[in-house]
């Protein structure tokens, strides 16, 4: 068991406008004791939270495509207290070639296309248990893009 996942500092941000998806992911992550969960219903709220709180992983909806990609770009550039190379799971309604390339450049851990299952999101986060996660506090160099 990865002690980072059970340390008080381990936390995940779920940025998803759909309240059923967001609340369900957050509740299940808590129920399974995977991490502390922060929730944001919009990119502006998520940006504000990321500016104030270091997290160890991000679940990011691309419902607001451009703004969400801009947020992820800023995260990878090290503009937030979180480490720049934290794992990011992207939820998207669709994905074409250019978007797939962009997500690869931004080192997205996993892309889940609508209609994805909550189970897939949770199992992706569970799989992080098997890998050493970056600490929440910043200080590492930004991930190469």
Partner 1 sequence: MMKAPRPGNDVERLHALRALLLLDTPPEERFDRIAAFAASEFNVPMAMVSLVDENRQWFKAQVGLPFCETERDLSFCGHAIMAPATMVVTDATRDPRFADNPLVTGEPHVRFYAGAPLRLATGEIVGTLCIMDTQPRQMDRVDLAILGALRALVLEELQRREAAT
**Nearest to residue 11, comparing CAs of 143, 133, 136, 138?**
136
- Find the binding residues for partner 1 in span 68-97 (CB under 8 A): none
Select 54 or 118, whichever has its Cβ closest to partner 1: 118
Would you give the DSSP letter of residue 143? Answer: P
Q: Is there a contact between 68 and 37 (Cβ–Cβ < 8 Å)?
A: no
Nearest distance in Å: CB 47, partner 1: 26
Q: How far is CA 101 from the centre of its chain?
A: 18
Pattern of binders to partner 1 over 6-35, x per CB under 8 A? --------------x--xx--xx--xx---
**Nearest to residue 71, comparing CAs of 45, 39, 35, 104?**
45
Cα–Cα distance between 47 and 81 in angstroms, integer?
11
Six-digit token string for 67: 């703004």
- Find the binding residues for partner 1 in span 100-119 (CB under 8 A): 115, 117-119
Contact between 99 and partner 1 by CB under 8 A: the answer reads no
Nearest distance in Å: CB 135, partner 1: 27
Select 20 or 94, whichever has its Cβ closest to partner 1: 20
Nearest distance in Å: CB 23, partner 1: 6
Select 32 or 51, whichever has its Cβ closest to partner 1: 32
**Nearest to residue 92, comparing CAs of 71, 120, 111?**
111
- Interface residues with partner 1 (CB under 8 A) are 20, 23-24, 27-28, 31-32, 115, 117-119, 122-123
């Amino acid at each position: 068991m990865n002690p980072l996942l059970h340390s008080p500092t381990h936390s995940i941000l779920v940025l998803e406008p759909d309240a059923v998806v967001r609340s369900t992911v957050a509740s299940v992550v808590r129920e399974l004791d995977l991490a502390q969960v922060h929730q944001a219903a919009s990119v502006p709220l998520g940006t504000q939270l990321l500016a104030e709180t270091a997290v160890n992983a991000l679940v990011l909806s691309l419902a607001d495509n451009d703004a969400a990609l801009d947020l992820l770009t800023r995260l990878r550039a090290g503009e937030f207290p979180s480490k720049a190379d934290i794992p990011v799971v992207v939820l998207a309604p669709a994905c074409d070639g250019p978007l797939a390339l962009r997500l690869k450049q931004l080192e997205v851990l996993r892309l889940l296309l609508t209609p994805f299952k909550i189970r897939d999101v949770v199992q992706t986060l569970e799989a992080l248990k098997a890998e050493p996660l970056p600490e929440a506090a910043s200080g590492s160099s930004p991930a190469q893009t």
